[in-house]
């Protein structure tokens, strides 16, 4: 099966659920406006299951509909950065054998973002969900610069310490600030000819490996990532470089 | 329902919290900060910015010939010498004029010169307090838990639309989340703002815009809708002053948050917090403390005793600033891993424990955030359990959880769905907590007991070392902060014996202009 459609209760029925708000008072005409809008989006069999006022001048809709669109899944590629994670001991062993020294890892929440929960979960000794953070590994020397670090400061620090890996974290995504900051970091590293030598990693709840690749990063890690998955990626990349 | 508590342990915990707060209080009494002095200027009527957009209170503070004497002394001398108002003096300073040497003016003359302006500021705060009390009497709130939502578009005019829509959907409190960078700004931005990241700048004009919109909505809905902002970060006292002048109703106000999570110098923020809380006490503003942060950054089951310990320390600091329990919105959060069996029981234990230990405090209950995912359906369900815990245990200030917590700052519909969830659960289970009894010696009671005794052990450790040393040693949230490090330390100074601040102790003085 290559052409795939959404599945409600029958193969190829194309069933989807969606909800949205319109900035108009609710009325039966508002329900009909929502239905016609869904038709304009390309849906068929549109049923407005729920339509009601949620404030004066705003109406909320829940809609079930069908889409004629299909996707050839055999043509879709989104490589994962988290496959085959090693254990802490295996990562340390890999680094010891193939690199022969501690890898320096610098992490920061860049730009104005002050939400360090993600970077802390990956780097702090305690880790996340019982999976120890990178500080716990013998193979890593970790520098967690914390929140609201300007990309210039991060790059300067990484150069001074001769970092092997840079972890940039972004939680706030409003108006594309995350992508702007990630891009600024990648561009600054390129401009300073400092990109080649480091494993550059993006992290945050809305980050995907695909997005990170588009932005010129080696990998991207999203919500639910375990520290060992990041550790494995860095160790393997460093090991490849050491052998090259 | 009622937990059987070890009252000896509660009393011991309070004594320890007092022992922790007292030495800090003595330190605070000897010091002031530039942000305190700028707040004094604002309360004397100084507002506006210079040609480069620098706020006039900053220009004044930077021009002080001897900051150890305090803003009021210099400003009073300038008023006495020139006959100008504090605002005119600030404008002249911005134009390049120096401030006078306060030693030239006799003590009584400079105090008498500034007093009318200081009294005007206090009279405005007092008038706001009376106005709030009259509005609450005429437009009573629905019974607690008071449903609290945030708006955070970055644009104050969009925030206004969202706030009014939320009020119509049942919100009783609206908080405008600040732009993420604001806590680190050493000045208060000016004017109406339409750009911000992760939130909207706190400015006096933005406060006015929201207050006016919510006042209008309050009249229309027949219930008073409260407005909240953040007196935290480097401008804590200035925000507290501005909020008092514009009749905000609540302020997030917790120095530990700034120290641990924003690397703000501990001395700076302890001094700032004390003066802020004195102003809050005077203005009738309810503070919200930030204990939820211990839970979002570490394991919530493990950190429960830290929450109670922090609540007790916050209470001790608040009492020392003249803030009565009725204005202490002590914090907690529903952050236990949803996969943990009986996690709900632990949440109930903790929430009920706080309710009984702080019977007169309007407790602030924060929603699940850490374990929320892109699965909005599960998220909505977890929020419902949070709502049930809150109504069962009689929490007062209830920050509604958003099903899209992990995805984006709330859409208008997200808020409406969150409010609908809370209203349904709290209505259908309104008196549930009053109808059931907690099993003596059962899981809930045992958990509450463990948390209480855990808090006592933390407080013992902190009391032994002293709070500042404990922060230096990483006792809180595994974060270490040096006593003389962090942001804003250069703005802390020891007061001269002749230092004067007409608003210090404002909470304890007679109302003005009644």
Which residues are within 8 A (CB) of B132 and not within 5 positions of it... i.e. 6 or more apart? B224, B247, B249, B284
pLDDT at A81 over 80: no
Test B154 with A175 for CB contact under 8 angstroms. yes
- Chain A nearest C-alpha distance from B309 (Å): 22
- How many percent of chain B have pLDDT more than 90? 89
Mean pLDDT of B7-24: 98
A173 contacts in chain B (CB < 8 Å): 408
Q: Which residues of A touch B417 (CB under 8 A)?
A: 60
Instruction: Give CA separation, A110 vs A169, A182, A185, A190, in Å.
Output: 6, 8, 9, 17
Rounded to 5 degrees, φ, ψ at A77 are -130, 130
Let me know: does A139 contact A83? Beta carbons within 8 Å. Answer: no
pLDDT at A17 over 60: yes
Question: Which part of chain A has CATH 3.40.50.280?
Answer: 88-243
Task: Give the distance from residue B307's alpha carbon to the nearest chain A alpha carbon, in angstroms.
Answer: 18
The helix (run of H) or strand (run of E) holding residue B56 is helix B56-63
pLDDT computed for residue A1 by the predictor: 66
Which residue in B410, B149, B193 sits closest to A174, CA to CA?
A: B410
- Test B409 with A174 for CB contact under 8 angstroms: yes
Output Rg (C-alpha) for chain A, integer angstroms. 23
Q: Do A126 and B298 touch (CB under 8 A)?
A: yes
pLDDT score recorded for residue B513: 47
Average pLDDT over residues B217-225: 98
* Active site (catalytic) residues of A: 126
Q: Whole-structure pTM over 0.90, yes or no? A: no
Q: Among residues B36, B3, B505, B500, which one has the least CA distance to residue B267?
A: B36
Alpha helices in B236-375, H assignment, sequence order: 236-245, 255-262, 266-283, 292-296, 300-320, 343-357
Identify the architecture of domain A88-243 in CATH: 3-Layer(aba) Sandwich (3.40)
- For chain B, say whether A97 makes contact (Cβ under 8 Å): no
Q: Which of A19, A174, A206, A222 to mutate to probe the B interface, most B CBs <10 Å?
A: A174
The strand order across the sheet containing B331-333 reads B328-329, B286-288, B250-252, B226-230, B173-176, B146-151, B397-399, B364-366, B331-333
pLDDT attached to residue A173: 76
Q: Which residues of A touch B408 (CB under 8 A)?
A: 173-174
Rounded Cα distance between A140 and A127, Å, is 14
d(CA B108, CA B68): 19
End-to-end CA distance of chain B: 43
The chain B residues in contact with chain A (CB within 8 A) are 152, 154, 164-166, 168-169, 179-181, 183-184, 197-198, 261-263, 296-298, 370, 373-374, 406-409, 411-413, 416-417, 478
List of E strands, B120-245: 146-151, 173-176, 226-230
Angle, helix B34-43 to helix B266-283, in steps of 10 degrees: 20
Q: How far apart are CA B432 and CA B425, in angstroms?
A: 11
Q: Do A124 and B373 touch (CB under 8 A)?
A: no
What ranges make up the beta strands (E) of B5-156? 31-33, 146-151
Query: Rounded to whole angstroms, how far apart are CA atoms B180 and B192?
Result: 17
Query: What is the reported pLDDT for A69?
Result: 96
Q: What is the mean pLDDT of chain B?
A: 95
Measured between beta carbons, the chain B residues lying within 8 angstroms of A172 are 180, 197-198
Cα atoms in the Cβ-side hemisphere of radius 13 Å centred on A117? 19
Nearest to B373 among A20, A115, A223 (CB): A223
Cβ–Cβ gap A113/B406 under 8 Å: no
Q: Per-residue pLDDT tens for A156-214?
A: 999 999 999 999 999 877 778 889 999 999 999 999 988 988 999 999 988 999 999 99
Q: Are B141 and B172 in contact (CB under 8 A)?
A: yes
Q: How far apart are CA B274 and CA B31, in angstroms?
A: 11
Q: How confident is the model at residue B512 (pLDDT cuts 50, 70, 90)?
A: low
Helix axes A227-243 and A88-98, enclosed angle (nearest 10): 20
- Which residues of chain A lie closer than 8 angstroms to B183, CB-CB? 114
The CA distance from B402 to B382, in Å, is 10
Q: Mark out the alpha helices in B263-299 (DSSP H runs).
A: 266-283, 292-296
Min distance A204 CA to chain B CA atoms (Å): 11
Cα–Cα distance, A52 to A49 (Å, whole number): 10
CATH fold for the domain made of A3-71: Defensin A-like (3.30.30)
Q: Any residues with CB less than 8 A from the CB of A236 and at least 6 apart, and which?
A: A94
In whole angstroms, give the CA distance from residue B476 to residue B462.
Answer: 10
Tell me: pLDDT of A79 over 90: no
Q: How far apart are CA B460 and CA B42, in angstroms?
A: 40
Q: What is the mean pLDDT of residues A64-90?
A: 89
Nearest chain B Cα distance for residue A244, angstroms: 40
Residue B199: closest CA among chain A residues belongs to which residue?
A: A174
Q: If you average pLDDT over residues B359-364, what whole number do you get?
A: 98
Residue B233 · residue B185 · CB < 8 Å = yes
> How many Å lie between the alpha carbon of A112 and the closest alpha carbon of chain B?
5
Mapping DSSP onto H, E and C, the string for chain A reads: CCEECCCCCCCCCCEEEEEEEECCCCCHHHHHHHHHHHHHCCCEEEEEEEEEEEECCEEEEEEEEECCCCEEHHHCCCCCCCCCCCCHHHHHHHHHHHCCCCEEEEEEEECCCCCCHHHHHHHCCCCECCECCHHHCCCEEEEECCCCECHHHHHHHHHHHCCCEEEEECCCCHHHHHHHHHHHHHHHHHHCCCCCCCEEEEECCCCCHHHHHHCCCCEEECCCCCHHHHHHHHHHHHHHHHHC
Of the pLDDT bands very low, low, confident and very high (cuts 50, 70, 90), residue B514 is very low
A20 and B408 in contact by Cβ < 8 A?
no
Task: Verify whether the Cβ–Cβ distance A223 to B183 is below 8 Å.
Answer: no
Which residues, in sequence order, are bridge partners of residue B176? B151
Select the residue from B340, B413, B418, B420 to test the A interface by mutation, using most A Cβ atoms within 10 A.
B413
For residues B32 and B508, the model is more confident at B32
pLDDT tens-place string over residues B388-444 = 999 999 999 999 999 999 888 899 999 999 999 999 999 999 999 999 999 999 999
Nearest CB to B297 within list A117, A174, A177: A117
Residues of A with Cβ-Cβ distance to B158 under 8 angstroms:
none
Task: Count the residues in chain B.
Answer: 514
Sheet with strand A199-203: strands edge to edge:
A140-144, A103-109, A165-169, A199-203, A219-221
What ipTM was estimated for this complex? Answer: 0.89
**How large is the C-alpha radius of gyration of chain B?**
23
Active site residues of B: 257, 292, 364
When comparing pLDDT for B329 and B372, which is higher? B329
Buried b (16+ CB within 10 A) or exposed e, B292-306: bbbbbbbbbbebbbb
- Please report the number of interchain residue pairs, chain A to chain B, with beta-carbon separation below 8 angstroms: 77
CB-based contact, A124 to chain B, within 8 Å: yes
Burial B139-154 (b: 16+ CB within 10 A, else e): beeeebbbbbbbbbbb
Give the chain B residue nearest A148 (alpha carbons).
B181
Spatial separation of the C-alpha atoms in residues B34 and B235, rounded to whole Å: 9
How many C-beta atoms lie closer than 10 Å to residue A128's C-beta? 19
All CATH 3.30.30.60 domain ranges of chain A, comma separated, are: 3-71
Partner residue opposite B478 with nearest CB, options A113, A126, A177: A126
The dihedral through the CA atoms of A175, A179, A180, A182 has a sign that is: positive
Under an 8 A CB cutoff, do B374 and A177 touch?
Answer: no
Among A122-126, A135-139, A229-233, B199-203, the range scoring the smallest mean pLDDT is A122-126
Which residues of chain B neighbour A56 with C-beta distances below 8 Å?
165, 168
CB contact under 8 A, B413 and A21: yes
Q: Residue B475: what pLDDT?
A: 84
Nearest-Cα distance to chain A for B198, in Å, is 6
pLDDT digits (tens, 9 = 90+) for B222-272: 999 999 999 999 999 999 999 999 999 999 999 998 998 888 999 999 999
Main-chain dihedrals φ then ψ at residue B188, nearest 5 degrees: -100, 120
Q: What percent of chain B has pLDDT over 70?
A: 99
CA atoms within 13 A on the CB side of B10: 14
Residue A174: list chain B partners with CB under 8 A.
152, 154, 197-198, 408-409
Cβ burial of B104 (10 Å; 0-12, 13-18, 19+) is exposed
For the segment B296-344, what is each residue's pLDDT rounded down to a tens digit?
767 889 999 999 999 999 999 999 999 999 999 999 999 999 999 999 9
Chain A residues with CB under 8 Å of B413 CB are 19-21, 54, 58, 60
Tell me: the pLDDT tens digits for B50-84?
999 999 999 999 999 999 999 999 999 999 999 99
Residues B118-155 pLDDT 10s: 999 999 999 999 999 999 999 999 999 999 999 989 99
Which residues in chain B touch residue A123, judged by CB atoms under 8 angstroms apart? none
Q: In the sheet where A58-66 sits, what is the strand order?
A: A15-22, A58-66, A44-55
Interchain proximity B406–A147, CB inside 8 Å: no
Nearest to A148 among B165, B184, B373 (CB): B184
């Amino acid at each position: 099966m290559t052409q795939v459609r959404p599945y409600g209760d029958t193969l190829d029925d194309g069933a989807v659920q969606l909800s949205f708000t319109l900035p108009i008072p609710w009325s039966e005409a508002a329900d009909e406006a929502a239905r016609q809008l869904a038709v304009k989006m390309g849906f068929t069999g549109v049923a407005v299951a729920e339509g009601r006022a949620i404030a004066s001048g705003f109406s909320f809709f829940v809609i079930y509909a069908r889409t004629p669109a299909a996707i050839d899944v055999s043509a879709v590629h989104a490589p994962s950065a988290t496959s085959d994670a090693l254990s802490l001991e295996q990562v340390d062993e890999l680094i010891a054998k193939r690199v022969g020294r501690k890898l320096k890892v610098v992490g920061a929440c860049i730009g104005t973002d002050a939400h360090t929960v993600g970077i802390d979960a990956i780097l702090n000794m305690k880790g996340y969900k019982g999976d120890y953070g990178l500080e716990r590994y013998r193979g890593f020397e970790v520098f967690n610069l914390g929140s609201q670090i300007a990309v210039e400061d991060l790059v300067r620090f990484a150069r001074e310490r001769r970092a092997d890996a840079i972890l940039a974290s972004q939680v706030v995504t409003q108006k594309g600030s995350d992508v702007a900051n990630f891009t600024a970091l990648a561009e600054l590293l390129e401009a300073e000819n400092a990109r080649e030598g480091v494993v550059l990693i993006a992290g945050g709840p809305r980050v995907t490996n695909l997005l990170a690749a588009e932005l010129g990063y080696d990998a991207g890690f999203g919500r639910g990532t375990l520290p060992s998955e990041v550790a494995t990626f860095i160790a393997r990349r460093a090991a490849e470089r050491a052998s090259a | 329902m009622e937990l059987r508590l070890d009252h000896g342990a509660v009393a011991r915990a309070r004594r320890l919290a007092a022992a922790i707060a007292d030495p800090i209080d003595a330190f605070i009494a000897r010091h002031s900060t530039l942000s305190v002095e700028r707040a004094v200027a604002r309360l004397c009527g100084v507002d506006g910015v210079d040609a480069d957009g620098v706020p006039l209170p900053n220009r004044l503070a930077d021009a002080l010939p001897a900051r150890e004497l305090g803003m009021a002394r210099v400003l009073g001398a300038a008023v006495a010498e020139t006959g100008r108002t504090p605002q005119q003096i600030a404008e002249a300073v911005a134009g390049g004029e120096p401030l006078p040497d306060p030693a030239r003016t006799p003590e009584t003359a400079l105090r008498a010169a500034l007093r009318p302006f200081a009294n005007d500021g206090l009279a405005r705060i007092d008038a706001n307090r009376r106005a709030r009390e009259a509005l609450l009497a005429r437009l009573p709130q629905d019974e607690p838990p008071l449903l609290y939502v945030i708006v955070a578009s970055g644009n104050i005019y969009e925030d206004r639309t969202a706030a009014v829509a939320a009020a119509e959907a049942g919100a009783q409190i609206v908080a405008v989340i600040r732009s993420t960078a604001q806590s680190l700004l050493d000045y208060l931005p000016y004017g109406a703002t339409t750009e911000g990241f992760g939130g909207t700048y706190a400015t006096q004009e933005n406060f006015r815009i929201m207050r006016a919109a919510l006042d209008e909505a309050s009249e229309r809905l027949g219930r008073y809708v409260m407005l909240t902002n953040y007196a935290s970060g480097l401008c804590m006292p200035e925000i507290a002053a501005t909020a008092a002048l514009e009749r905000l109703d609540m302020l997030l106000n917790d120095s530990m948050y700034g120290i641990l999570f924003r690397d703000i110098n501990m001395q700076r923020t302890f001094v700032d917090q004390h003066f802020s809380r004195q102003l809050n006490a005077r203005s009738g503003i309810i503070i919200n403390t930030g204990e939820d942060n211990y839970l979002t950054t570490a394991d919530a089951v493990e950190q429960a005793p830290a929450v109670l310990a922090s609540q007790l320390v916050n209470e001790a600091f608040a009492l020392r600033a003249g803030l009565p329990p009725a204005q202490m919105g002590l914090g907690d959060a529903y952050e236990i891993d949803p996969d943990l069996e009986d996690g709900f029981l632990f949440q109930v234990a903790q929430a009920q424990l706080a309710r009984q230990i702080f019977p007169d405090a309007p407790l602030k209950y924060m929603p699940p955030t850490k374990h929320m995912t892109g699965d909005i359906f599960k998220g909505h369900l977890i929020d419902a359990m949070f709502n049930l815990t809150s109504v069962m245990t009689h929490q007062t200030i209830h920050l509604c959880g958003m099903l899209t917590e992990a995805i984006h700052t709330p859409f208008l519909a997200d808020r409406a769905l969150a409010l609908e969830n809370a209203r349904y659960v709290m209505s259908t289970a309104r008196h549930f907590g009053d109808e059931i009894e907690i099993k003596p010696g059962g899981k809930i009671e045992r958990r509450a007991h463990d948390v209480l005794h855990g808090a006592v052990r933390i407080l013992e450790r902190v009391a032994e070392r002293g709070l500042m040393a404990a922060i230096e040693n990483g006792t809180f949230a595994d974060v270490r902060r040096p006593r003389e490090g962090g942001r804003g330390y250069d703005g802390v100074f020891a007061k001269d014996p002749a230092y004067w601040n007409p608003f210090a102790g404002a909470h304890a003085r007679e109302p003005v202009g009644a």
